[in-house]
Amino acid sequence: MFANCDCGTTNRESIGESPDPQIFEQDFPTDLTDDRLWHLYSNAVYTFGNNTQSSKSYATNSYALRMNLTTVKNTAYGVTVEMPIEVIILFPDLPPQEKIIWPGYEANYAFSTIYAETAQEQYASVLQIFETWDLANEWGPTPTPSSTSDAGRAIKFVAFLILSISMLVSMIGLEGQM
Protein backbone atom coordinates (compact mmCIF):
# COMPACT_ATOMS: atom_id res chain seq x y z
CA MET A 1 0.00 0.00 0.00
CA PHE A 2 2.78 2.45 0.89
CA ALA A 3 5.67 3.52 -1.36
CA ASN A 4 8.32 1.86 0.84
CA CYS A 5 6.54 -1.52 1.01
CA ASP A 6 8.14 -4.36 -0.91
CA CYS A 7 5.02 -6.45 -0.22
CA GLY A 8 6.50 -9.51 -1.94
CA THR A 9 6.34 -8.13 -5.47
CA THR A 10 10.09 -8.32 -6.06
CA ASN A 11 10.37 -12.09 -5.65
CA ARG A 12 10.54 -13.06 -9.31
CA GLU A 13 11.04 -16.73 -8.45
CA SER A 14 7.35 -17.14 -7.64
CA ILE A 15 5.02 -18.47 -10.27
CA GLY A 16 3.16 -15.71 -12.09
CA GLU A 17 2.99 -12.02 -11.42
CA SER A 18 0.87 -10.13 -8.94
CA PRO A 19 -0.52 -6.61 -9.21
CA ASP A 20 1.46 -3.84 -7.57
CA PRO A 21 -0.23 -3.22 -4.19
CA GLN A 22 0.96 0.40 -3.92
CA ILE A 23 -1.89 2.90 -3.61
CA PHE A 24 -0.23 5.69 -1.57
CA GLU A 25 2.47 8.08 -2.70
CA GLN A 26 3.96 8.38 0.80
CA ASP A 27 6.22 6.00 2.69
CA PHE A 28 4.93 4.14 5.74
CA PRO A 29 6.22 6.05 8.79
CA THR A 30 8.38 3.85 11.00
CA ASP A 31 9.27 6.29 13.78
CA LEU A 32 6.83 5.63 16.62
CA THR A 33 8.15 8.71 18.46
CA ASP A 34 6.66 11.00 15.78
CA ASP A 35 3.60 12.14 17.75
CA ARG A 36 2.28 14.09 14.76
CA LEU A 37 1.40 10.73 13.19
CA TRP A 38 1.56 8.05 15.89
CA HIS A 39 -0.78 8.17 18.87
CA LEU A 40 -0.57 5.78 21.82
CA TYR A 41 -4.23 5.02 22.50
CA SER A 42 -3.85 2.20 25.01
CA ASN A 43 -1.16 0.94 27.35
CA ALA A 44 -3.26 -1.65 29.10
CA VAL A 45 -1.85 -4.32 31.36
CA TYR A 46 -3.85 -7.53 31.11
CA THR A 47 -3.79 -10.06 33.95
CA PHE A 48 -5.27 -13.48 33.36
CA GLY A 49 -5.62 -16.40 35.75
CA ASN A 50 -7.91 -15.12 38.54
CA ASN A 51 -5.02 -13.42 40.39
CA THR A 52 -3.56 -16.71 41.58
CA GLN A 53 0.09 -17.70 41.57
CA SER A 54 -0.38 -18.93 38.01
CA SER A 55 -1.66 -15.49 36.91
CA LYS A 56 0.30 -13.77 34.18
CA SER A 57 0.38 -10.06 33.37
CA TYR A 58 1.00 -8.69 29.89
CA ALA A 59 1.85 -5.03 29.28
CA THR A 60 0.74 -3.73 25.88
CA ASN A 61 1.13 -0.55 23.82
CA SER A 62 -1.49 0.01 21.12
CA TYR A 63 -0.97 2.75 18.54
CA ALA A 64 -3.10 4.61 16.02
CA LEU A 65 -1.51 6.04 12.89
CA ARG A 66 -3.38 9.10 11.62
CA MET A 67 -2.07 10.80 8.51
CA ASN A 68 -3.00 12.44 5.24
CA LEU A 69 -2.04 10.55 2.11
CA THR A 70 -2.25 10.96 -1.64
CA THR A 71 -3.09 8.09 -3.96
CA VAL A 72 -1.14 6.92 -6.97
CA LYS A 73 -2.77 5.42 -10.03
CA ASN A 74 -3.34 1.70 -9.58
CA THR A 75 -5.59 0.32 -12.28
CA ALA A 76 -5.65 -3.17 -10.77
CA TYR A 77 -7.41 -1.88 -7.66
CA GLY A 78 -9.38 0.94 -9.31
CA VAL A 79 -7.43 3.70 -7.55
CA THR A 80 -7.20 7.09 -9.24
CA VAL A 81 -4.21 9.40 -9.03
CA GLU A 82 -3.78 12.30 -6.57
CA MET A 83 -6.86 11.70 -4.45
CA PRO A 84 -6.35 13.07 -0.91
CA ILE A 85 -7.13 10.54 1.80
CA GLU A 86 -6.96 10.75 5.56
CA VAL A 87 -6.40 7.37 7.18
CA ILE A 88 -6.50 6.06 10.68
CA ILE A 89 -4.83 2.68 11.02
CA LEU A 90 -5.09 0.90 14.35
CA PHE A 91 -2.28 -1.31 15.60
CA PRO A 92 -3.63 -3.07 18.68
CA ASP A 93 -0.98 -4.72 20.81
CA LEU A 94 -2.72 -7.83 22.08
CA PRO A 95 -1.70 -10.22 24.84
CA PRO A 96 -0.30 -13.51 23.58
CA GLN A 97 -2.65 -16.45 23.45
CA GLU A 98 -2.61 -19.98 22.21
CA LYS A 99 -2.75 -20.28 18.43
CA ILE A 100 -5.01 -23.31 18.81
CA ILE A 101 -7.90 -23.25 21.24
CA TRP A 102 -9.14 -26.69 22.18
CA PRO A 103 -12.90 -27.20 22.55
CA GLY A 104 -14.38 -27.26 25.99
CA TYR A 105 -13.00 -25.55 29.06
CA GLU A 106 -10.00 -23.93 27.35
CA ALA A 107 -12.15 -22.36 24.65
CA ASN A 108 -14.68 -21.14 27.20
CA TYR A 109 -11.90 -19.63 29.31
CA ALA A 110 -10.21 -17.96 26.32
CA PHE A 111 -13.38 -16.38 24.97
CA SER A 112 -14.80 -15.36 28.35
CA THR A 113 -11.56 -13.85 29.68
CA ILE A 114 -8.73 -13.15 27.24
CA TYR A 115 -10.73 -12.24 24.13
CA ALA A 116 -13.63 -10.57 25.95
CA GLU A 117 -11.44 -8.39 28.17
CA THR A 118 -9.16 -7.44 25.29
CA ALA A 119 -12.06 -6.58 22.99
CA GLN A 120 -13.76 -4.45 25.64
CA GLU A 121 -10.57 -2.55 26.45
CA GLN A 122 -9.71 -1.98 22.78
CA TYR A 123 -13.23 -0.73 22.03
CA ALA A 124 -13.19 1.70 24.96
CA SER A 125 -9.70 2.99 24.11
CA VAL A 126 -10.44 3.48 20.40
CA LEU A 127 -13.72 5.21 21.21
CA GLN A 128 -11.88 7.54 23.58
CA ILE A 129 -9.26 8.58 21.01
CA PHE A 130 -11.92 9.05 18.32
CA GLU A 131 -13.89 11.27 20.71
CA THR A 132 -10.70 13.19 21.56
CA TRP A 133 -10.17 13.80 17.85
CA ASP A 134 -13.88 14.75 17.51
CA LEU A 135 -14.17 12.79 14.28
CA ALA A 136 -17.96 13.04 14.12
CA ASN A 137 -17.75 16.82 13.79
CA GLU A 138 -14.47 16.99 11.90
CA TRP A 139 -15.40 14.52 9.17
CA GLY A 140 -19.16 14.84 9.19
CA PRO A 141 -21.28 12.15 7.55
CA THR A 142 -19.66 9.36 5.58
CA PRO A 143 -18.92 10.53 2.02
CA THR A 144 -20.97 8.99 -0.75
CA PRO A 145 -20.14 8.97 -4.48
CA SER A 146 -22.58 11.83 -5.08
CA SER A 147 -21.15 13.96 -2.25
CA THR A 148 -17.58 13.66 -3.52
CA SER A 149 -18.21 15.36 -6.85
CA ASP A 150 -17.30 18.84 -5.53
CA ALA A 151 -13.90 19.26 -7.20
CA GLY A 152 -12.83 22.11 -4.91
CA ARG A 153 -13.25 20.11 -1.72
CA ALA A 154 -10.74 17.63 -0.36
CA ILE A 155 -12.21 14.17 -0.08
CA LYS A 156 -11.73 12.40 3.20
CA PHE A 157 -12.14 8.72 3.60
CA VAL A 158 -11.56 6.53 6.60
CA ALA A 159 -9.52 3.38 6.39
CA PHE A 160 -9.51 1.24 9.47
CA LEU A 161 -7.04 -1.56 9.20
CA ILE A 162 -6.49 -3.81 12.15
CA LEU A 163 -2.98 -5.13 12.44
CA SER A 164 -1.07 -6.32 15.45
CA ILE A 165 2.03 -4.55 16.66
CA SER A 166 3.94 -7.79 16.22
CA MET A 167 3.05 -7.76 12.51
CA LEU A 168 4.12 -4.13 12.30
CA VAL A 169 7.43 -4.90 13.96
CA SER A 170 8.20 -7.79 11.63
CA MET A 171 6.96 -6.03 8.48
CA ILE A 172 9.00 -2.86 8.86
CA GLY A 173 11.90 -4.07 10.98
CA LEU A 174 11.41 -2.19 14.23
CA GLU A 175 12.86 -4.98 16.37
CA GLY A 176 14.62 -3.52 19.41
CA GLN A 177 13.21 -0.02 18.90
CA MET A 178 10.05 -0.47 20.94
Whether residue 177 is contained in a domain is answered as: no
Whether residue 71 is contained in a domain is answered as: yes
Phi, psi of 108 (to 5 degrees): -60, -45
Percent of the chain predicted with pLDDT > 70 = 63
Whether residue 159 is contained in a domain is answered as: yes
DSSP 37-87: TEEEEE--EEEESTTSTT-EEEE--EEEEEEEEEB--BGGGTBPTT-EEEE
Question: For residue 116, what are the contacts with CB-CB under 8 A and spacing of at least 6?
Answer: none
Whether residue 83 is contained in a domain is answered as: yes
Whether residue 17 is contained in a domain is answered as: no
Render pLDDT for 10-69 as a digit per residue (tens, 0 to 9): 555 555 567 778 889 999 999 999 999 999 999 999 887 665 566 778 899 999 999 999
Cα distance between residue 162 and residue 45, in whole Å? 20
Mean pLDDT of the chain: 74
Whether residue 33 is contained in a domain is answered as: no
Q: Total structural domains in the chain?
A: 1
Determine the length of the chain: 178
Question: Which structural domain range is residue 97 located in?
Answer: 38-172
Burial (CB < 10 A; 0-12, 13-18, 19+), residue 31, is exposed
The pTM for the full model equals 0.69
Specify the pLDDT at position 71.
92
